[in-house]
Amino acid sequence: MRTSFLSALLGVFALSDVAQTSGEYPEATGTIPSHSNCRCFPGDPCWPSAQKWGELNTTVSGKLIATVPLGTPCHAPDYDASRCQYIKENWHSPELHDESSSSVMASFYANRSCDPFMPVDSPCQIGAYVRYAINVTEPADIIAGIKFAKKNNVRLVIRNTGHDFFGKSSGPGSLSLWTHHLKDIEYIPEYKSEAYHGPALKVGAGVQGIEAFTAADKNGVVVVGGVCPSVGIAGGYTQGGGHSILMGKYGLGADQTLEFEVVTGEGKHVNASKTENTDLYWALSGGGGGTYGVVTSMTVKAHKDAPMTVTQYSFRTTTGDTSMDNFYDALDFLHQMAPGYFDRGGYSAHKDAPMTVTQYSFRTTTGDTSMDNFYDALDFLHQMAPGYFDRGGYSVHIYSKGSLSFGLFFGPEWTKEATAAFFQPWVERLESLGLQYSLNITEYPSYFAAYSSMNYISTIGASQSGGRIIPKDTLLNKRAQFNQVIKNIVEDGAFMIEVVAHPTLEVAGNPDNAVLPAWRDNAITLVLAAPFNDTVEWSQMLEDQKTITKWGGLLRELAPESGAYLNEADANEPNFQREFYGENYARLLSIKNRYDPTGIFYALTAVGSDAWAQSPDGRLCKTNP
């Protein structure tokens, strides 16, 4: 099957985890004094009785769901051959997991619990999945869940679709607040506040990107959201910063927020905006999700739609070219082009394998083992970057050794002719290097038309990843060092994704929010990936994590003052507080403690999460009781 842009993007932006061993989390068999500072766990004497769970179900009007893992039909005694085959074939499709109250899209975090790829006679246990979920349809459901979790000392998680790279929306022995069905969307033609006057879109916590884009398009506007259509717009995406095709023109997702409706850790349903609960509003706008409260709705700026040019490209070394030097030369040139489009509102995403929109690719030719031409082309591509990201451009690149299989450039308000002229020097460079390439430029009348042109053959949970934000200064003034680090990581087997755009404060309208400051000088957001194998030994998955952390260390040495995008980073990142939140962390922790004083909300690497740790048996325990 031909792999699409989103297939590659979702497959790589899927998971990264702290080291843990595979296997089920067994239920406790008795009172264990050392667990007195832990959340109650299934089998513990303190675990809520069936009667208590029944009472909670009554309180939430029958909306409590007991988890039955998706993989159940693949295990005895419930084995169903045809159903199991369907599950296996679609396991890496987000649609299979979207409507589940418990499944996760980041395969590593399922810990092979009731895994469809394990032997039929292996036990199907709930393991790493949530035990129960409340199908939230109103704030009262959330309040009831918080109250129950506090009273019974049960781990609590917040979930929409399960599209989270760190497994934040799941946890062994937990109760989930499942917000997926909060689907209300309201277009507000004339939103008025002290800070903003103009069109806006109000979305429920369960609204996914494609739903928001569709609603906006019907009203002749656009909203900033993720590239992947299944990602919820009001959850960890916006709360974590949120990069977007439109970020070079309008800023990050977090820069668009006008107000939130949120249930705090104290069980209060409040508004948060620039005039109400202003500190909570500030934290929710870029300070990370899953830790301050449960958002039920979010209102964001809407922007006037405009024509857009999409360029799809790829290149690779030719047969017999083993040096790879030309490949990296071409890639470097592409990188150096970036400021020329992202400072005009453009966006580019590059990958080492085929894809689509300006869509491009290149690769080495058969027999070229040096890879000199490949790295030459890569360098050229990087040199181009300042030429578009300072003009609002955005691109995504996906590549591995010898092949940039996918490059996709979005140019808001760029004409087809102007885009072709911009890419012409790179085309000439590729031809001079003898690299095989493709380039396809299409002009669309609107953002939604351009976005809809992409192939939605999506995969998730197919890799483990890490990454780092590469500043514009590093790209321009540390060119040789940057190229060498890229080459070292690629030669070591990494699958690379680059998001190229420049969401400066000026572009975003000078917002005051909790976005990691390093984003404002971003030239390239790098994602480093290693494949996740459903059947390989678990020890190999753990070794791959160590390798990813090693690669991240090389990038940290290259750009030590930068940071990492908290939604697409390495969960083993040393000092995540600094790398994910920067100078904002102390203030964010203070806000966390104000609105969640008992610490009922926990998510891996979220603000305040270092007060807890998950033990090998799955229990969540205090680190300093």
What CA–CA distance (Å, rounded) separates 413 from 361?
A: 23
440 sits in which H/E element: strand 436-444
Phi, psi of 183 (to 5 degrees): -105, 10
Q: Taking a C-beta distance cutoff of 8 angstroms, is the pair 342, 248 a contact?
A: yes
The whole-number pLDDT of residue 514 equals 99
Return the minimum-mean-pLDDT range out of 69-73, 311-315, 437-441.
311-315
223 sits in which H/E element: none
469 within some domain? yes
Q: Indicate the pLDDT class of residue 11, thresholds 50, 70 and 90.
A: very low
What CA–CA distance (Å, rounded) separates 35 from 383?
A: 55
Q: Which of 180-184, 364-368, 409-413, 475-479 has the highest mean pLDDT?
A: 180-184
The whole-number pLDDT of residue 350 equals 40
Rounded average pLDDT over 530-554: 90
**pLDDT tens track for 312-340:** 777 777 655 556 777 777 777 777 766 66
289 within some domain? no
The whole-number pLDDT of residue 17 equals 33
Peptide bond into 77 cis (omega under 30): yes
Return the minimum-mean-pLDDT range out of 305-314, 481-490, 565-574, 590-599.
305-314
Residue 385 predicted with pLDDT over 80: yes
What CA–CA distance (Å, rounded) separates 425 from 126?
A: 56
503 within some domain? yes
C-alpha distances (whole Å) from 600 to each of 8, 289, 415 are 36, 14, 51
Q: Taking a C-beta distance cutoff of 8 angstroms, is the pair 308, 414 a contact?
A: yes
> 360 by DSSP, 3-state: which?
strand
346-360 burial by CB neighbour count: b if 16+ within 10 A, else e?
bbbbbbbbbbbbbbb
The whole-number pLDDT of residue 330 equals 76
The C-alpha angle 555, 560, 564, rounded to 5 degrees, equals: 65
Q: Which domain holds residue 423?
A: 307-531
Only one residue has tokens 């202003």, namely 278
Q: Which of 18, 39, 289 is nearest to 175 (CA)?
A: 39
Q: How much is the pTM?
A: 0.91
Q: Which of 262, 271, 270 is nearest to 292 (CA)?
A: 262
Rounded average pLDDT over 280-300: 99
Residue 456 predicted with pLDDT over 70: no
Return the minimum-mean-pLDDT range out of 125-134, 383-392, 463-472, 556-565.
383-392
389 within some domain? yes
Q: Indicate the pLDDT class of residue 29, thresholds 50, 70 and 90.
A: very low
Please give the tally of structural domains in the chain.
1
21 within some domain? no
Return the minimum-mean-pLDDT range out of 139-153, 231-245, 330-344.
330-344
Relative to beta strand 132-135, strand 174-178 is: parallel
Amino acid (one-letter) located at 84: C
Question: For 73, what's the count of Cα atoms within 13 Å in the CB-facing half-sphere?
Answer: 11
Q: In the structure encoding, which two tokens stand for residue 512, read together? A: 């005051």
375 within some domain? yes
326-344 burial by CB neighbour count: b if 16+ within 10 A, else e?
bbbbbbbbbbbbbbbbbbb
Query: Across the chain, what does the average pLDDT equal?
Result: 88
Q: Indicate the pLDDT class of residue 589, thresholds 50, 70 and 90.
A: very high
**Could you tell me where the DSSP H helices lie in 303-402?**
325-335, 339-342, 373-379
Sheet holding 293-301, edge to edge: 185-192, 197-204, 293-301, 257-264, 269-273
Q: In the structure encoding, which two tokens stand for residue 331, read together? A: 């890639």
Q: Which of 25, 24, 64, 70 is nearest to 48 (CA)?
A: 64
Strands, E assignment, 15-165 = 64-66, 132-135, 155-159
618 within some domain? no
Q: In the structure encoding, which two tokens stand for residue 266, read together? A: 């104290």
Rounded average pLDDT over 367-389: 85
458 within some domain? yes
Residue 599 predicted with pLDDT over 50: yes
Rounded average pLDDT over 351-378: 69
**pLDDT tens track for 158-184:** 999 888 888 899 999 999 999 999 999
Q: Indicate the pLDDT class of residue 244, thresholds 50, 70 and 90.
A: very high
What CA–CA distance (Å, rounded) separates 589 from 594?
A: 9
218 sits in which H/E element: helix 209-218
Amino acid (one-letter) located at 203: V
